[in-house]
Chain A
Amino acid sequence: MSELAMDTPIDRSAMKVSDEVAIEIRNMNKWYGQFHVLRDINLTVNRGERIVIAGPSGSGKSTLIRCINRLEEHQAGQIIVDGTELTSDLKNIDKIRSEVGMCFQHFNLFPHLTILENCTLAPIWVRKVPRKEAEETAMHFLEKVKIPDQALKYPGQLSGGQQQRVAIARSLCMKPRIMLFDEPTSALDPEMIKEVLDTMIELAQEGMTMLCVTHEMGFARQVANRVIFMDQGQIVEQNEPEEFFNNPRSERTKLFLSQILGH
């Protein structure tokens, strides 16, 4: 597995976990038609936690984090984000979506808008921030992901890694309190993976609450304070990264780790 992110020294002490609950998922179940994708999920995430979700393909990782901002609807149980329960109430959904940022595997930038416009769109239309202020915020975050000079280009003119960093900046412009990442690096070439992971590490060091589906085990070891292993729609094991990688307890986890780290 890629150890690319290992060379950056990381100050883990800065990443404090408070005991305030950010996300609480209780007995959540979800079906696609007859197919039971998520089975009895229970998960509490405190503010400041960095959680990595791993698991074989099709185990429901993406579905789980997409439920958190209601890109998918769950059918049973509760999801409470920042004290607001996700129900069919549109106002709650809108509120949670503006509090929770998300990065996709394929970036999903808007190709007809410039980088800057991509970043200012939601603050202007959802948060009703004046344009000038929105642009300043956007430039601030673009600087943070190290591409301020690309602001006036279109997404199609950027490399994959740059696009993903723009996508991160776009979410950050909404000043989210929680960030969701769905395999942000798996569509990228190795040299681009590092630049994206560095951005994510920086975010973690600032104390952002993060839920991250990824196969970058180096990143998990270094940044995560908890690793969650999913299989067949269930949380099979969760532990601190050291323990998780060195002493996996369930057979499934061992098998998964041996496949993913074995060569």
Chain B
Amino acid sequence: MTTLTDPPSESFRLSMLIYDTRYRAITFQIIALICFLLFFGWLISNTAQNLADLGKEPSFGFLMEPAGYDINQRLIDYNNQDSHLRAAFVGLLNTLLVAFLGCVTATVVGVIVGVLRLSNNWLISRLMAVYVEMFRNVPVLMWIVLCMAILIESLPAPRAFRGDDAEASMKLFDTVAITNRGVYIPEPLFSRSLGDIPVGNLFNISIDLIAILIVLAIGFYVSHRIKLKADATQEATGVRPRTWYMRLGVIFVPLAALLVILGFHLGYPELSGFNFSGGTHLRNSLIALWLALSLYTAAFIAENVRAGILAISKGQTEAASALGLRPSITMRLVILPQALRVIIPPLISQYLNLTKNSSLAIAVGYMDITGTLMGITLNQTGRELETVLLGMLIYLAISLAISAVMNFYNSRVKLVER
């Protein structure tokens, strides 16, 4: 037998930086870091020099200067003497508004279409397939521009509503006016309003709204308690008490009472002169963007919903039926919980896509964060670097917030699985 001598005491050699697994990683990371820093240094020095040549100094001071332009669709008070910062904030709220409206509509339409696509009715499932393929395979920008064109070109002008034998008339018992300048819908008014409270110096929040939300929240909470109680009764006695009227009641009765107390009524749009006044005015740009984004995203959501339901094997349904569960219970307790787990992550990334696509608002002149900060503010102040970087950061923050929700959901679902 050959005996082995002790290994030679290790001395550090330069080649170990590359060939030794312990140092190799560090070497490469340092090289990568150096390359990265060099690259960024290069970019920054280029930028500094270019800006110096142009006589611009990077600064965000311009945000405080008066913006000087109007924003017609807005959620909070704004006039053209307000600062660029406030204009950007109005834009941000507009982005969030259209993203929220779009996500809700897209989910409703998408779920319906996705379920109908699985229907065993041949005609319906074909129709839905046509819808999905039609919207998925054409750019969303085209849908936005097309919706805008339809609204502007094919709807009657407000003056068509005038006179005794008017060409156009208001819809839904004379409460909604659909014109080529936008849609006028009734606005909620409170005759015994509680007033507003200012949030910082930025905007006012209506106390009425807060009161309504609080009442609703309490209602849902009590309703949930009733459900838990019903669950407990079912577990103890085996019979589930009938609670749906109580659960609806605790939500709607207090709400109705509150509305009466506040003196809730609707303010209807009315034709005055050549235009409508009163009511809430939804601009065409908002409607076109909202419609196009929701219909486009709904096509993708429909596919996710369909895939999610298909992913639950037929065996699950059969096993549940074999146990004697009725279809509605099978759906609620067996299929849906599993399907939702598959559907929700892609659903959230569709929300993310919709939010990012809402930046196409600039194509139809809806003043979102792209249209204000990276549009008019950029052009008026000539601050390309600052505005575009700031805009990107805002979108990044929104995206990260949405992904955080998704990760939270994923981790919770994972825990349940174990």
Contacts and interface: CB of A to CB of B under 8 A. Distances in A.
The answer to whether A and B touch in the complex, with CB atoms under 8 Å apart, is yes
B274 to A, nearest CB: 71
Interface in A46-88: 46, 78, 80, 85, 87-88
A90 B2 contact: no
Q: Which applies to chain B's interface (DSSP): helix, strand, loop or mixed?
A: helix
A44 B3 CA distance: 11
A128 interface: no
B20 A90 contact: yes
Interface string B54-68: 000000000000000
Contacts of A91: 19
A21 interface: yes
Contacts of A21: 1-2, 4
B16 interface: yes
Contacts of A19: 1
Given A19-B1, A89-B21, A90-B20, 17 more contacts: A20-B2, A21-B1, A21-B2, A21-B4, A24-B4, A46-B1, A80-B4, A85-B7, A87-B20, A88-B20, A88-B21, A88-B22, A89-B19, A90-B18, A90-B19, A91-B19, A93-B21
Interface of B: 1-2, 4, 7, 16, 18-22, 24
A136 B230 CA distance: 77
Nearest to A19: B1
Q: Which applies to chain A's interface (DSSP): helix, strand, loop or mixed?
A: strand
Contacts of B16: 89
Nearest to A92: B19
A93 B20 CA distance: 10
A21 B24 CA distance: 31
B3 to A, nearest CB: 9
Interface in A206-251: none
B24 A90 contact: yes
Nearest to A90: B19
B365 to A, nearest CB: 52
Contacts of A89: 16, 19-21
Nearest to A46: B1
Interface of A: 19-21, 24, 26, 44, 46, 78, 80, 85, 87-91, 93
10 contacts: A20-B2, A21-B4, A80-B4, A85-B7, A88-B21, A89-B16, A90-B20, A90-B24, A91-B19, A93-B21
Contacts of B4: 21, 24, 26, 80
Contacts of B19: 89-91
A187 to B, nearest CB: 26
A88 B20 CA distance: 5
A87 B1 CA distance: 23
Nearest to B2: A21
B7 A78 contact: yes
Contacts of B22: 88
Nearest to B13: A89
Contacts of A85: 7
**Residue from A19, A78, A80, A88 with most neighbouring chain B CB atoms (10 Å):** A88
Contacts of B1: 19, 21, 44, 46
A137 B20 CA distance: 33
Nearest to B7: A85
Nearest to B19: A90
Nearest to B10: A87
Nearest to A26: B4
Contacts of B21: 88-90, 93
Contacts of B7: 78, 85
A93 B1 CA distance: 24
B9 to A, nearest CB: 13
Contacts of B24: 90
**Residue from B7, B16, B19 with most neighbouring chain A CB atoms (10 Å):** B19
A41 to B, nearest CB: 16
A69 B245 CA distance: 70
What are the 4 tightest A-B residue pairs by CB atom distance, in nearest-first order? Answer: A88-B21, A88-B22, A90-B19, A88-B20
Contacts of B2: 20-21
B153 to A, nearest CB: 55
A87 to B, nearest CB: 8
Contacts of A90: 18-21, 24
A80 B162 CA distance: 98
B220 to A, nearest CB: 45
**Residue from A44, A80, A89 with most neighbouring chain B CB atoms (10 Å):** A89
Nearest to B8: A85
A108 B22 CA distance: 28
B62 to A, nearest CB: 55
A263 to B, nearest CB: 35
B6 to A, nearest CB: 9
A88 B22 CA distance: 6
A86 B25 CA distance: 18
Contacts of A87: 20
Contacts of B18: 90
A43 to B, nearest CB: 13
Nearest to B16: A89
A89 B22 CA distance: 8
A80 B4 CA distance: 9
Nearest to B21: A88
A91 B19 CA distance: 6
A78 B8 CA distance: 13
Nearest to A91: B19
A86 to B, nearest CB: 11
A91 B7 CA distance: 17
A46 B1 CA distance: 8
Contacts of A26: 4
A249 B20 CA distance: 43
A20 B4 CA distance: 12
A78 B5 CA distance: 12
B330 to A, nearest CB: 38
A253 B241 CA distance: 63
Contacts of A24: 4
A118 B24 CA distance: 30
Contacts of B20: 87-90
Contacts of A93: 21
A21 B4 CA distance: 10
Nearest to B1: A19
